[in-house]
Amino acid sequence: MRREDQLFTVFPKIIRAGESSRITIRPKFTSLPRRCRVTVKAMEGRGRDPPPREAEATDDGLTLEIPFDGEQEYVLAVADISSPAAARIGEFHLYAVAGDLHALTPWKGDFHMHSTRSDGREEPAYVAAACRRIGMDFMALTDHGRYEPSLEAMRAFEGRPIDLAIFPGEEVHPPGVSTHILHLGGSESINALFKGAGYAAQIETRAAALAGTPPELRTAYAVCEWCFDRIRACGGIGILTHPYWVFENAYHVPEPLLALLFERIPFDALEIIGGYLFEEAEANALQVARWREECSRGNAAGSGAGKRIPVVGVSDAHGCETGKLFGWYYTVVFSPTLRFPDLAQSIRAMGSVAVEAMPGTPSKVYGPFRLAKYAHYLIREVFPLHDELALEEGKLMLAMLAGGQRAEEVLGTYRGRAARLYERLWSGRADFS
């Protein structure tokens, strides 16, 4: 957390571009000097920076009316002009966004994790609580070939006062192909359908209809397409998973099939980063490079416009307490609410970014440039405040699972704290829901 956030409360931090906004800087532990000099700097240099001005602080802090001309980051430098050297008080970073983005909330989450129900190390409910402890707003448990564990995690907290959204999910392992697919949010298991009567016939019929597809790829592509279609039919989203993961000395998705998937894009999003340690990060680098190249190509309709391939970042963690992977990769979805249909629609509309947050290294954001730039600001200036609240909530969720008698009662008093924080940090968000 930045020094300024430790010593001051600043609100709002997220402002509508093209408007003036009243900014309040309030010290937490002391008082501001009465006479201050305030300098406003637009980081991208768009618009004209107002000249430095003097402002008078009160016992409630310093309140300023400032115009924010364009969508970008702004820095407010405040100095004490009552001292001979105009001692620096602090630099306060704000971000102005256009109305469409200002109306959306940045929700953090992880869509790909495993529990003891497949090859993970902790129980489903434990994984969910641990996600809140590291600042996640949503999560989905996606055990190998199993949908029920995600429902188990949901049931563990049903009716309890938590601010973490827990969604159903599974890692789909279609028979006969190496490709793995993430199924998120749907109302039924896709893995269970492979055992049902008629599955093989459906694939055979679908493959036969792929007349323009090389014969050697028809069955594999038909399986993938069938899975993505069935996921959408039950209200979920389907994600193409770790295509450059190396398994048994080969990439997980054969290149001819991967090229066809990128050409036709039957999936809803690409798992662009995640699931790799430092020494295995080559797969992520390849996935990022492939995504950028594919987005620069014309779409299948031949219009010449670049492809739109939504992205997510996931940990693919097989344990929350191993010190590896868990929390290293996640997704930020810019959505009006935390309800799954809204998150899914936002992802499909290119409203998400993938974040790499390996320990000891600066965070990296992958996705549309406008959102990536904004997300870097949020990671630096907003999420640390949010995560401090979520940490306490996650610990209480774990205590509740362990039988702590007062944990649920205390957790109930904490409910909605992150929402109230965002009400304060976003201008005009008193109607936050």
pLDDT in tens, 222-260: 999 999 999 999 999 999 999 999 888 899 999 999 999
Q: Is residue 413 part of a domain?
A: no
112 and 91 inside one domain? no
Q: Are residues 116 and 244 in the same domain?
A: yes
CATH number at residue 272: 3.20.20.140
The answer to whether residue 408 is domain-embedded is no
Q: Using only C-alpha atoms, what is the Rg of the chain?
A: 24
Q: Do 11 and 159 fall within a single domain?
A: no
Considering the domain architecture, whether residues 139 and 254 belong to the same structural domain is answered as yes
Residues 6+ apart with CB under 8 A from 322: 121
Residues 134 and 62 in one domain: no
Which position has the token pair 């010593």?
7
CA 355 to chain centre: 7
With respect to residue 40, please indicate whether it lies within any of the assigned structural domains.
Answer: yes
Yes or no: say if 93 and 41 are a contact pair by the CB < 8 Å rule.
Answer: no
Q: What is the pLDDT of residue 433?
A: 34
- Phi, psi for residue 289 in degrees, rounded to 5: -65, -40
Q: Please tell me whether residues 210 and 328 are part of one structural domain.
A: yes
C-alpha pair distances (Å), 171 with each of 78, 146, 274, 305: 51, 7, 15, 32
Its domain, for residue 264, covers 105-391
CATH of the domain at 26: 2.60.40.1930
Q: Under a CB-based contact definition with an 8 Å cutoff, are residues 287 and 244 in contact?
A: yes
Q: What is the pTM of this model?
A: 0.95
pLDDT above 90 for 196: no
Nearest to 322 by CA among 116, 123, 120, 141: 120
27 within some domain: yes
Shared domain for 32 and 126, answered yes or no, is: no
pLDDT digits (tens, 9 = 90+) for 119-146: 999 999 999 999 999 999 999 999 999 9
pLDDT in tens, 151-167: 999 999 999 999 999 99
What tens digit of pLDDT does each residue of 310-365 get?
999 999 999 999 999 999 999 999 999 999 999 999 999 999 999 999 999 999 99
Query: Are residue 92 and residue 111 in the same domain, yes or no?
Result: no
Give yes or no: residues 183 and 294 share one domain: yes
| pLDDT mean over 26-43 | 93
Does 169 share its domain with 314?
yes
Same domain, 314 and 365: yes
DSSP 220-236: HHHHHHHHHHHHHHTT-
Q: How many structural domains does the chain have?
A: 2
Instruction: Write the DSSP assignment of 326-386 as a string of letters.
Output: TTTEEEEEEESSSSHHHHHHHHHTT-EEEEE--TTS--EEES-HHHHHHHHHHHHHTHHHH
Question: Does any domain span residue 426?
Answer: no
Measured distance CA(255)–CA(275) in Å, rounded: 20
Amino acid identity of 51?
Answer: P
Residue with the two structure tokens 């090859």: 119
- What is the per-residue DSSP string for 260-325? HHHHH--SSEEEEEES--GGGTHHHHHHHHHHHHHHHSB-TTSS-PBP---EEEE--BS-SSSSSS
